[in-house]
Structure 1
Amino acid sequence: MFNEPVTFQMKMSQKHKMSYNSNRFSIEPAQNFGSCCFLQSENLDYHSSSDNSGHTTYPSVRSVEHYCTLESSTKISFPSLNSPSTVSFSSNNSPVSKLQPKPYVLSSQNSLEIANDSLENESCLTHSDSELRHKIRELESVMLGHDADILDMYDTAIPEESDPFLLEAERWKKMMEMISRGDLKEMLCTCAIAVAENDMETTEWLMSELRKLVSVSGNPIQRLGAYMLEALVARVASSGSTIYKALKCKEPTGSELLSHMHLLYEICPYLKFGYMSANGAIAEVMKGESEVHIIDFQINQGIQWVSLIQALAGRPGGPPKIRITGFDDSTSAYARQGGLEIVGERLLTLAQSYDVSFEFHAIKVAPTDVEIKDLELRPREAIAVNFAMMLHHVPDESVDSKNHRDRLLRLAKCLSPKIVTLVEQESHTNNLPFFPRFVETVNYYLAIFESIDAALPRENKERINVEQHCLAREVVNLVACEGAERVERHELLKKWRSRFTMAGFSPYPLNSFITCSIKNLQQTYQGHYTLEERDGALCLGWMNQVLITSCAWR
C-alpha cells in the first residue's frame, strides 16, 4: 500500500534525521527529498442510473488515457430478475403484494431458497442444523464484532407457524429502512452478503442504490464506498483479476505515480513510522560493528536508508563500512523508470558526502526464489535483515504448498543476523472467507481514508489521485480476487509473532529512545493518530484502529 516516494537530492532539509549524541542515537523523521510535480486530476462526470424508483445520477471518475478507471459497473449485465419493488408496504407497515407466495427453506448457508413443495407443517430446520447454525453465528460474531449485527436480516430463524413469504417481505422492509437511513457502510456490507449468497436480486438492487450515494469527492465512507462497490461488481462478474491487472497497466507515467506516492508519504506518517522504528533498532544493535550488511527484501526507492547512513556517519569512533543488498518490485521499478542501479547510485552519492564507505548489491531474482548464495555473504559482516511492508505479498501455506512466507523467514534465520526488522499493516485478510474479509477491508481502509481526510480537503484533486492510484487497486484485489490472484494477504501482529517464533527467532524489544522519537513524529501530524507499545512492538493507529505495527527479532 504505502510505496515510498522516489527521488532525493543532495540539498535536503534537516527536518527529519537520525543522529548520535553522547553515545546514544536520536531519530527524527526522514528528509523530504526533492520536489515532485503533481498532475491535473480526473474530471468528475455524472453518469445516469435508473431503477424502478426513478432516474438518478451519480458521480464517477473519467480518467485521462493512461489513468486507471473503475467503470466495470457500467459493463455488467445481470440476469433478468423480479424487482424488489414488487413487495410494498401499506400505511400501517404491513406487507402488501400481488405475488403468489412460495414457501422458502432456510439452508445451512443461511440463504432463503424457494421450494417447490410445501413444508407440510414440518420444521425447516433439524435439530442438528439448528445447532450448526448457532455455532456458525457464534463464530461470525467473534470475527465481525459489532458488524455481526448486519447478518441479522439474513439470519432470522423461521418459526414453524411463520409464513415464509411474510418473512421475506420483512427482510426487504428492513433493507428499505436501512437505505432510508443512508447508512452506507451497512449497505455495503449487506450487498457483500448478497454477493456471498449469490442473491442476484438483492445484489442488483443494492448496487443501484449504492451508486446514488458513493462519490470519489465525498466524505471518507463515500469515497471508499466508490471503490468497494466497483470491487463487488468485479467479483460478481468474475473479473476481479482482469480489473486488478488493468489498474496496474493504466497507472500514470512513472513520474506522475511518483508524485502520488510522495504525497501519501508526506501527508500520512505510516511509512515514516515504520522506517524510523526499524532504523532505530538497527542502529542500536550495530553500535560496535565495523562492517554492516543490510539485506532489504523490498528496497523500493531506498529512502529508508538515508537517515540510517546519516546516523552511522556521526557514530562515535567513526562510521562502519556499509553494504546494502536490495530486492526490487515491479511497482517501484515503474515509478523510478529504471532498475535498482538508480537506487544504488543515489545512496552511494549520499554516503560519499558523509565520508561513509558504501557498496550496493542489486538482486535480480524474486524474494521467493532467492538462495543464500545470491546474497554474497562475507566474513566479519554484521547482518541486518529488513522486511518492510513486503511479507504480506509473499504467499503462505494457504496459497502454495511451498509456503514461501515461512521459507523466507527460515532463510533469514540461516544468515545468523544480528537483527531482523518487520513493518506490516495490522489487518487480518490472509485466509478469511469473503464476507469477514470484506468487513475487515472496510474497517481498515476507512481509517486510512479518514486520516487522509484530516490532511487534505475533500475537493483536492491530488487527494483523489492518491486514493485512486495508491489505494483503490488494493481494495479491488482484496474484494474481487481469490486464490493466487489475491496478492494482498495481511496478517495480525500475533500471527507474525507465531511465524517468527517457529522460524527460531526471539523478540528484540524496541527501546525507549525509539519510542520517544516516534512520539515526536506523531505530534507533527494533525488528526487522531494513536501510538502504543505491545510487548516490545510499536503500533501506530487512527482512533481505535491500529494500522501499522513495527517490531524486531534476533
Structure 2
Amino acid sequence: MEEASGFLPRKNVLEEYVLVDQSSNHRRLKKRHNREGHLEEEEVGRPSKAVMMVVEPEQIGAREMFNEMTLNGLYETSIRDMEKLQITVANEAEKKRKSGSKAVRDVVDLRTMLIFCAQAVAANNHTSAREMLKQIKQHASATGDATQRLAQCFAKGLEARLAGTGSQLRQLLMAERLSVVEFLKAYKLYMAASCFDKAALIFSIMTIEQAMIGKSKVHFVDYGLNYGLHCAGLLRWLANREGGPPEVKITAVGHPQPRSCSAEPTEETGRRLSKCAHAFGVPFKFHAITAKWEAVCIDDLNTDADEVLVVNDLFNFTTLMDESIFFDNPNPRDTVLKNISKMRPDVFIQSIVNCSYGASFLTRFREALFYHTAMFDMFDATTPRESEPRLLLEQGLFGGCALNAIACEGVDLMDRPEKYRQWQVRNLRAGLRQLPLNPNIVKVVRDKVRACHHKDFLLSKEDQWLLQGWMGRILFAHSTWVAQDASSE
C-alpha cells in the first residue's frame, strides 16, 4: 500500500480549497480546517483580474501555435522546423568533434535488465524484480542517451505494475496528461524530427486527389480527429486544386472516451477547421459524431450521391477493443471494419502502428520495448538532448503509453496495436478489398523522405502496404481499401 500510494495523486485534506456556489449571487466560499480541527467557512470576494487571467497565456500560446500549424501549413511548418533542427544537431556534433569528447558507454545493458526484470515480475518474484529495478533506476535518466531515457520510462511502468494495476493508474495518466501547448510543442518536434506523419499526410492527400478526378465534392470521414491538424493540411491542398476548390464535408467520429494525451471537444476542432476553410476559400461543412465507433454506420453520415466518400483512420484503431476482451461477441474492430465496408467508400485510407502486444504481459512488454527502442534511437539521432519538447515527447507522450502498456491489463489498456498482416486479415474478413499501391504516390513519398530526412529512415512496400520504419524495424504501415464488390475502376 505504501508503494502504491506513490502513484496516486497526493492531496492534503488540511489545505485550503475553494468552492463556487452556483446560485444566482455566485457567492464564493472558502473552507478550511482550523487549529482545533473544525471546519470553518468564510465568504471571499470575487477574484481579481490577475487571478482570472491566469489561464489566458496558455490559451493565447495554443491559439498562436494552432494558427501557425494550420493556416501556414502543417507540412510546410514541419519542413522549416526540420531544417532548423538539422542545423542544431549538426552544430552539436561539430562541437563534440572539435572538443574531442567521446561518449562513455555504460557497461550495464539496460535493455536486457529491463527484460529480466519483466520476467521476474511475470513470475511474481517481487524480491528479485525490485532488486533489478533498483539497479535500472540508478542508470536511467530522462536527459541521458536513448537507452537511459527509455529505461526511465519503462522503469516507471515496472514499478507501477509491482505496486498494482488498474483504473487508478489510468485515471492518474488522464490527470497528468500534457496541456494543449505542451502537446503541440511535442507534436511540432515529432513532425520535425521524423518523417512518419509527413509521409502519412502526403500518402492521404495524393490518394484523395486520385479518387477525386472529375469530381467537385468530397466527404471526409475521420475516426479520432484529435486536433484536426491533418485535415487542415487537406483543406490547404484542396484550396489550391486545379479547377478551384471542391465542396468539402468533414464528418469527425470523435473518441467516446478521453485519451491519455491532451484532447479537446470535437466541436471546437470543427470551429477551427471552419475558420481554416474560410481563410482558404473552401466551401465547407462540418459534422461531429460522438458515439461508440462500432455503432457508427452509413445512416449517420448524411452522404450525397455525387460526393467522393473518403474514410480515414490515422493510427487510431489501436484504441478499439479486440478478442482479448470480447471472447464470444463480435469485437469492436471487426464491427467497425464491417460498417466501413457497408459505407461503400470510394477509398478507405488506413494507417496503423505496426506492433503486436499479444495476450501475455511478457509478449506485450517485449513488443513495447522493441518499438520504443526504435523511436528513442530515432529521436537521439535527429534531436538535441537538451531539447525541452523532446522531454515532453519522450517522457510525456511515449512514456505515458509505455506506462499504460506495462502496468495495466484488460479494459484499462488504452492501446492494442497489431501488425499490418493482422489488419490485412481483419479487413478481408470484414468485406474489404485492398487496392494496389499507386507507383507515383510511392515514388513521391520515397523521394521526399530520401531528400529531406535522416538516412536511417526506412520506406518500402510489401503486399500493397507502404511501410515506414527506422534502421530496418517497421513501425508504421499504410494501405487503401474499398468494399469487396466495388467497381474495379
TM range (shorter): 0.7 to 0.9
What whole-Å deviation, never above 9, does each CA across 1:239-297 have from its counterpart, x for those lacking one? 35423321220224323333223322332222222222122212211212222111101
Superposed counterparts of 1:473-488, under 5 Å:
473-488=400-415
Structure 2 CA distance for partners of 1:204 and 1:335, relative to 1, 3 Å? closer
Secondary structure of the corresponding residue to residue 8 of structure 1: helix
Superposed counterparts of 1:401-550, under 5 Å:
401-429=329-357, 431-522=358-449, 523-526=451-454, 528-550=456-478
Superposed counterparts of 1:334-413, under 5 Å:
335=262, 338-400=264-326, 401-413=329-341
Instruction: Output the CA distance in 2 between the equivalents of 1:381 and 1:466.
Output: 39
Amino acid at match of 1:261: Y
What whole-Å deviation, never above 9, does each CA across 1:2-39 have from its counterpart, x for those lacking one? xxx9713599557947xxxxxxxxxx97898xxxxxxx
Contact 1:505 1:553 (8 Å CA) reproduced: yes
Q: Which residue of 1 aligns with 2:98?
A: none
Superposed counterparts of 1:312-331, under 5 Å:
312-329=238-255
Q: Which residue of 1 aligns with 2:196?
A: 270
Instruction: Output the CA distance in 1 between the equivalents of 2:468 and 2:193.
Output: 15
Contact 1:278 1:551 (8 Å CA) reproduced: no
Q: Which residue of 2 aligns with 1:203?
A: 129
Shift of 1:385: 0.5
Instruction: Output the CA distance in 2 between the equivalents of 1:30 and 1:410.
Output: 38
Does 2:303 correspond to 1:303?
no
What whole-Å deviation, never above 9, does each CA across 1:425-478 have from its counterpart, x for those lacking one? 11111x331112211111110110111112222233331122111111110111
What whole-Å deviation, never above 9, does each CA across 1:17-73 have from its counterpart, x for those lacking one? 7xxxxxxxxxx97898xxxxxxxxxxxxxxxxxxxxxxxxxxxxxxxxxxxxxxxxx
Contact 1:214 1:226 (8 Å CA) reproduced: yes
Instruction: Output the CA distance in 2 between the equivalents of 1:332 and 1:404.
Output: 17
Contact 2:467 2:474 (8 Å CA) reproduced: yes
Q: Which residue of 1 aligns with 2:41?
A: none
Superposed counterparts of 1:74-89, under 5 Å:
none
Contact 1:426 1:491 (8 Å CA) reproduced: yes
Identity %: 28
What whole-Å deviation, never above 9, does each CA across 1:63-107 have from its counterpart, x for those lacking one? xxxxxxxxxxxxxxxxxxxxxxxxxxxxxxxxxxxxxxxxxxxxx
Q: Which residue of 2 aligns with 1:218?
A: 144
Structure 2 CA distance for partners of 1:333 and 1:348, relative to 1, 3 Å? farther
Instruction: Output the CA distance in 2 between the equivalents of 1:198 and 1:249.
Output: 29
Contact 1:30 1:306 (8 Å CA) reproduced: no
Contact 2:204 2:349 (8 Å CA) reproduced: yes
Instruction: Output the CA distance in 2 between the equivalents of 1:405 and 1:368.
Output: 8
Q: Which residue of 1 aligns with 2:67?
A: 8
Contact 1:244 1:473 (8 Å CA) reproduced: no
What whole-Å deviation, never above 9, does each CA across 1:511-537 have from its counterpart, x for those lacking one? 122222222332322351111111222
Instruction: Output the CA distance in 2 between the equivalents of 1:354 and 1:189.
Output: 51
**RMSD between superposed Cα atoms in Å:** 2.6
What TM-score do the two structures reach when normalised by structure 2?
0.74
Secondary structure of the corresponding residue to residue 342 of structure 1: helix
Larger helix share, 1 or 2: 2
Structure 2 CA distance for partners of 1:515 and 1:212, relative to 1, 3 Å? same
Amino acid at match of 1:397: E
Structure 1, unaligned runs of 5 or more? 18-27, 33-179
Amino acid at match of 2:466: L
Structure 2 CA distance for partners of 1:31 and 1:507, relative to 1, 3 Å? farther
Does 2:243 correspond to 1:184?
no
| Greater Rg by CA | 1
Q: Which residue of 2 aligns with 1:255?
A: 181
Contact 1:434 1:479 (8 Å CA) reproduced: yes
What whole-Å deviation, never above 9, does each CA across 1:144-201 have from its counterpart, x for those lacking one? xxxxxxxxxxxxxxxxxxxxxxxxxxxxxxxxxxxx9511111111111111111123
Q: Which residue of 1 aligns with 2:206?
A: 280
Question: RCO (CA 8 Å, sep 6+): is it higher in 1 or 2?
Answer: 1
Contact 2:318 2:416 (8 Å CA) reproduced: yes
Instruction: Output the CA distance in 1 between the equivalents of 2:411 and 2:386.
Output: 37
Contact 1:258 1:335 (8 Å CA) reproduced: no
Structure 2, unaligned runs of 5 or more? 1-63, 82-105, 483-489
Contact 2:297 2:340 (8 Å CA) reproduced: no
Contact 1:323 1:360 (8 Å CA) reproduced: yes
